[in-house]
Amino acid sequence: MPAEVRLPTVLRAQADGQATVAVEGATIGEVFSALVTQYPGLRGNLLDDQGGLHKFVNVYKNDEDIRYLEGLDTKIDDGDDISILPAVAGG
């Protein structure tokens, strides 16, 4: 069963306007790889030049920040929800 990836409004234009995308993968990294293969315009918003998680994006697996789990190596189980949120900065 594919993971459900929830995209913020700001990224939907690069994914044909979709709010959610079903993507196969055993880890967050595999899901993101499949996602940017399907929607190449998302690559710069999700991954840095080295293929790591972009520092201006937050990713949650079932409401848990993957930075506090195993990052891109975080395992995905059937039915997991993955939410992508742009980082908010201000001063």
Q: Identify which of 86, 79, 87, 45 has the alpha carbon closest to the alpha carbon of residue 62.
A: 79
State yes or no: pLDDT of 91 exceeds 60: no
pLDDT at 87 over 70: yes
| Residues β-bridged to residue 82 | 5, 61
Per residue in 58-84, pLDDT (tens digit) is: 999 999 999 999 999 999 988 899 999
Cα gap 80→91, rounded to integer Å: 34
Q: Give the start-to-end residue ranges of the domains of the chain.
A: 3-86
Tokens (6 digits) for 66 = 């993957």
Q: Just give the CATH number of 3-86.
A: 3.10.20.30
- pLDDT for position 90: 59
**Residue 58 half-sphere exposure toward CB, CA atoms < 13 A:** 11
**Whole-structure pTM value:** 0.89
**Chain segment 11-47, per-residue pLDDT in tens:** 999 999 999 999 999 999 999 999 999 999 999 989 9
